[in-house]
Chains A and B, each alone.
Chain A
Amino acid sequence: MKFVAVTACPTGIAHTYMAAEALEQAATAAGHEISVETQGSAGSAPLSADDIAAADAVVFAADVDVRDRERFAGKPQVTAGVKAAINDAAALVEQAATAARSAADTPTDTAASAETSEGPGGEPEPVPSAPEPETAVDAHAGAGTRLRQWLMTGVSYMIPFVAAGGILIAVAFLVGGAEIAAVVDGGDFRGVHYDGISDPADLLGEAGIAGVLFKVGSTAFDMLVPILSGFIAFGMADRPGIAPGIVGGLLASAIGAGFLGGLVSGLLAGFVVMGLKRIKVPRGVAGVMPVVVIPLVACFVVGLLMLVVVGEPIAAAQSGMTDWLAGLSGGTAWLLGGLLGLMMAFDTGGPVNKVAYTFGIAALASGDTVIMAAVMAAGMTPPLGLALATVVRRRLFTRAERDAGKAAWLLGLSFITEGAIPFAAADPLRVIPSLMAGSATTGALVVAFGATSPAPHGGIWVVGLVGSPLLYLVAVAAGMVVTCGCLVAVKSIGRRERPARPEPAAVAPEQGLIGAQQG
């Protein structure tokens, strides 16, 4: 049989390698083949996608978290500490063989492992039987695969924040009504002005349990972009990447650059740290490099770039778009609705989305409840369309994405557009256009139907306040179906073409990032 294994220990200089050696010896002695990835201090040569795809089972011998564990989703797995591998590797190899045999005997498991041998970004990795790509193309595809793995590392650490934060906020709306956001953060809701609650100690007393739920949820949401950014950098440059990645992500939030800004700051931080690690320094300085010099320099460089190079153009573009939207107000109404839909879905909480949402709030303040209804409906569509797609075509999504899809139902219904971020961050070029198509449909239909919403948030839970609620829901459902259809179509095309032409998949995320910097 063929196995792959990952070994990792706290210090990363001894047990990691001893466990690897022990597993190799034991597997060879038992007549198996094994490839081991040592996640230690001396760098690690990652297992190739082909090795993983061909493996009958996976052995984890680790006392710390295994990086990029999602690569092995669906494979029969055996998990143990490094010492178990060192002391009795033969037993672990035997367990792996047993796990592989029992998985092969169970048809459902085999199907599961076949379908989850997809790449981390949702695209299938080349199946084992696929012909080897040309050498020149291979290097190119390798870069794309690495980029997707980096993004997916960030996404996998972010998903718990999306799920926990999103569901807490949704429950807060359910318990406390749609005004809970205004009660906690301040603002206007249906003509009533709230000052917000500045002292957390007053939350329970003044806003009740709903206020506490909302505050906890929105605090988790505040961490989405920093965690995404920090763990993209971690995927690229290991531990020294985390600090500059998180600082860059916090600044991306501060300048309103949203999750696309977080992708940029995470990749920036990763590249800067990777570069700094290559610099040869005198012995005396070497000791302070990882703890002082690298984080210091990388944080400053990434922070400077985010504030000056990324931040200022974003602010300028936002005010430009706001003026432009105001100029369009007299034009064809349903077109404006569609345009707002495009904007809501483009960056899901980022600068373009904010311009559209703020435009909706401003319209609401001047008494136009149709625009607000279009904006809210268009913001509900993205997570719902994605959730639908994970149900309709499970095979196009990784296990992590399917789990995110389950939470996305509730998030979409609650107008928490962020539920779409895990999908969009992992595969921006396919996901974002699909979201935009669906939300544009919804936005245009809401305006055409003349549905109204006097509430600036709350999603399905404020449908009682919505004018023409049935048509409003029809518009949301239509956008959902459009998003789902588009995404299934583009993901399936990529899937069929990939073995023959790997280039599009390889460059796709980069193009998405260039778009983000411009936006």
Chain B
Amino acid sequence: MAELITADFVDLDLRGSDREEVTAGLARQLAGAGRVSDLDGFLADLREREAQMPTGIEGGIGIPHARSAHVTEPTLGFGRSKSGVDFGASDGPAHLIFLIAAPEGGDDEHLSVLGALARRLMHQSFRQSLLDVSDAESVVRLVREEVFGQ
């Protein structure tokens, strides 16, 4: 199975304050590495999901995500924003943004990785570590430790 996240999918200094713009920036990195076959199609799927109910949750987190036919591998893109990006959470903008891309026809093994990731997001220690790290490689290592226990 391909890595859930690589340093290419991490942006610790996100520019912009618009939900769509930030999401598109992260998605572009995924498309560049072949994880997304059709960027516009994937963005449309993300927009559709976001329109059902904003994905921001309390504690400064945004989780744009979609199951999409344009995704080839379950992939995580991660971005950190100093100024914050509004993801519709009631307590203010998101500083940690997780772009979760799931393939439409993924099998259980693949998708359970994303389930495990989502569960880790609820741990304050994981969030704090992500706020503290200083380079992209550390993010990759942190996710691997937390999600796969390696």
Contact = CB atoms under 8 A, between A and B. Distances in A.
B118 A16 contact: yes
Contacts of B70: 287
B149 interface: no
Contacts of A20: 119
The DSSP consensus for interface residues of chain B is mixed
Interface stretch (B8-16, B21-29, B77-85, B103-111): B103-111
Which 5 A-B residue pairs are closest in the complex by CB-CB distance? A42-B111, A17-B118, A286-B105, A21-B119, A289-B105
A42 B115 contact: yes
Contacts of A43: 108, 111-112
A41 B100 contact: no
Contact of A11 (B57, B65, B110): B65
Interface in B28-60: 49, 52-53, 55, 57-58
Given A286-B106, A290-B104, A14 B69 contact: no
A18 B121 CA distance: 7
13 contacts: A11-B67, A13-B65, A18-B57, A41-B67, A41-B114, A42-B112, A42-B114, A42-B115, A43-B108, A285-B105, A287-B72, A287-B104, A290-B105
Contacts of A288: 69, 105
Given A13-B67, A14-B55, A41 B102 contact: yes
Nearest to A88: B58
A83 B62 CA distance: 12
Contact of A86 (B57, B73, B100): B57
A291 interface: yes
A17 B114 CA distance: 9
Given A22-B122, A291-B69, A13 B100 contact: yes
B4 interface: no
A288 B70 CA distance: 10
B72 A283 contact: yes
Interface string B59-97: 000010111011111000000000000000010000000
A17 B57 contact: no
Interface string A264-298: 00000000000001001101011111110000000
Contact of B105 (A15, A22, A287): A287
A25 interface: yes
A20 B115 CA distance: 10
A40 interface: yes
A86 B55 CA distance: 11
Contact of A13 (B52, B69, B111): B111
A87 interface: yes
Interface of A: 10-18, 20-22, 25, 38, 40-43, 63, 83, 86-87, 277, 280-281, 283, 285-291
A99 to B, nearest CB: 24
Nearest to B88: A83
A42 B116 CA distance: 10
A93 B145 CA distance: 30
A21 B117 CA distance: 11
Contacts of A14: 55, 63, 65, 100, 114, 118, 121
Contacts of B102: 11, 13, 41
Contacts of A290: 104-105
Given A38-B115, A87-B57, A291 B121 contact: no
Contacts of A289: 104-105
Given A83-B53, A87-B57, A291-B104, A18 B65 contact: no
Nearest to B57: A86
A14 B100 CA distance: 8
Nearest to A87: B58
Contacts of A18: 57, 118-119, 121-122
A283 B118 CA distance: 24
A16 B102 CA distance: 14
Contact of A286 (B55, B58, B103, B114): B103
